[in-house]
Chain A
């Protein structure tokens, strides 16, 4: 595999509804931005780019099959190679990685990854129904198909096993919504308190409306290239931001479609197959986990995502990361629910399993220069969802994982001020970050590591 650079990106404004444009034209907003940001015009980029990967989750929302080729067509990319990927909520993350593969394998020198979702074409509760069709339609959906319900069951188990509290979940919502004040691309920003989150309408106990991301219309685009691709782009007149951003780690994991079917593994199997290198090397952590298992914890059960742990471990190994909390400057992760951000802290090894609740309220994942109105015990260590995450940005599914890629590129380029017209969310001297994309009840998860070249 050869080095792959993530050189540019663009994001359309995420909104509850974008009836002003078709999905192709919304993608083009993000596409044009990404091209302009490297100083090229449309025909020149079209000449140099080798192909594409398209990302959208559901044919139901647009009632259109083969929407990918309609975007390819609108973007003037025909007859170059392209294909559509789909993997639920992780579709965007998978798209980013498939573009990486196209370049890393030598198949393409310049590959553009574009994704979208237009979820406003149906009413909210019908949209929830479409999303719930991403659960087994024989055995899960008919019982009361509702993703917020599925995640709320994970929460009650997490609370029972580990003592996690709804107020700890609410810290995630407060952090992400307040971060979003400085990101012009978000669907919604609001200055809220823990009490606001808890007093919001209850959706699926204990998750309230402010614990849950919203449906959106939107698109995002990233441009990836090899060293040869970079030369071709520069020869065509491109001015790529320096220092370059390189993709240094790729990981992906899967789990059962039916959450009920997930295994409940014993301590030894967990330690051998799923513990992080850091966990394996610590006698104190091994003793901590032994105690959890003695109290009945089994892995992954419904409280944890082994797909996330698998993807994280794979990506960390690829990127040479031993301690993700201290070796990553930021993580843009898939916070479709406040609870899933907490679960993901644990899966990615930012904290140990069972400690996600206290970790969420510790302050370690907050930004240092923003007033959250909270008394935080610890200083920031690794910003999680400095963009506002899915909770505030919105979740136009096929675009979401690519949006994370775009924000990560801008963080590492140090160009947040340029793109957001505000530098509050710029992680100071960001050298390495991760993006995490997540599907279903944890069925597909991708983790990609991006680094600034020195």
Chain B
């Protein structure tokens, strides 16, 4: 039998309070008593909208909206990063874009997240994976679909995978995700 929860989930929120118990006279005894009071805790909301620029990496995101996956390559050495990178870390050269959409790819590492940050809790469980590409020196962090999150296996490492793209782009790196070739 599954273990039943023994605690209620804690959340913020509650009544709005317009008065806090406080001594009615300010004699020495009352002032000393203030040292024994529990702390006041208030809720503070903090919302902000940022205008975030992808800067020189923007073509990488634009490519995803067109169902292409780009990588950055040093024209001199050929060192290639799966993540967009405007300048090569070894030579300092400006990189060029290359298309790796159809380059053979494999799972390098993965996990299944059964919990997550607040923003991603509704999506749990989800599979994070690092993908390696033939001829590319570094990896790409992505979501892996088409595998059972309730049955993770080290055998997933080395599995051949291919990119899939959202039809309705969100202009986020999750516009691309990967699925096992065997699932196609």
Given the known interface contacts A260-B130, A260-B139, the answer about A153 and B111 at a Cβ–Cβ threshold of 8 Å is yes
A261 touches B138 (CB 8 A): yes
B81 to A, closest residue via Cβ: A261
CA distance A142 to B119 in the complex (A): 9
B154 / chain A contacts, CB cutoff of 8 Å: 156, 159-160
Residue from A128, A142, A203 in contact with B172 in the complex, judged by beta carbons closer than 8 Å: A142
A132 touches B138 (CB 8 A): no
What is the CB-to-nearest-CB distance from B106 to chain A, in angstroms, rounded to a whole number?
A: 12
B77 / chain A contacts, CB cutoff of 8 Å: none
Q: How large is the interface on A (under 10, 10 to 19, 20 to 34, 35 or more residues)?
A: 35 or more
CA distance A165 to B158 in the complex (A): 18
In chain A, residues 212-233, which have Cβ atoms closer than 8 Å to a Cβ of chain B?
none
B83 / chain A contacts, CB cutoff of 8 Å: 139, 258, 260-261
What is the CB-to-nearest-CB distance from A8 to chain B, in angstroms, rounded to a whole number?
A: 28
Cβ of B29 within 8 Å of any chain A Cβ, yes or no, is: no
CA distance A264 to B136 in the complex (A): 11
A131 / chain B contacts, CB cutoff of 8 Å: 117
Residue from B39, B57, B157 in contact with A160 in the complex, judged by beta carbons closer than 8 Å: B157
What is the CB-to-nearest-CB distance from B73 to chain A, in angstroms, rounded to a whole number?
A: 14
Given the known interface contacts A139-B173, A261-B85, the answer about A157 and B157 at a Cβ–Cβ threshold of 8 Å is yes
A263 touches B141 (CB 8 A): no
What is the CB-to-nearest-CB distance from A197 to chain B, in angstroms, rounded to a whole number?
A: 16
Cβ of A140 within 8 Å of any chain B Cβ, yes or no, is: yes
B137 touches A153 (CB 8 A): no
Cβ of A302 within 8 Å of any chain B Cβ, yes or no, is: yes
What is the CB-to-nearest-CB distance from A261 to chain B, in angstroms, rounded to a whole number?
A: 5
Cβ of B152 within 8 Å of any chain A Cβ, yes or no, is: yes
How does the 8 Å CB contact mask read for B19-50 relative to A, with 1 for contact and 0 for none? Answer: 00000000000000000001101001010000
Residue from A132, A138, A261 in contact with B117 in the complex, judged by beta carbons closer than 8 Å: A132
A63 touches B52 (CB 8 A): no
Please report A residues at the B interface, Cβ cutoff 8 Å.
Answer: 19-21, 63, 123, 125-126, 128-129, 131-132, 137-140, 142-146, 148-150, 152-157, 159-160, 201-207, 258-264, 302
Please report B residues at the A interface, Cβ cutoff 8 Å.
Answer: 10-12, 38-39, 41, 44, 46, 52, 54, 57, 81-85, 108-121, 123, 126, 128-130, 137-143, 152, 154, 157-158, 172-174
6 A-B pairs with least C-beta separation: A152-B111, A129-B117, A157-B109, A260-B139, A125-B118, A153-B109
Q: List 19 A-B contacts (CB under 8 A).
A: A20-B39, A123-B12, A126-B118, A128-B118, A139-B173, A142-B174, A143-B142, A145-B117, A146-B116, A153-B111, A156-B109, A156-B157, A203-B115, A204-B111, A204-B114, A205-B114, A260-B139, A263-B138, A264-B138
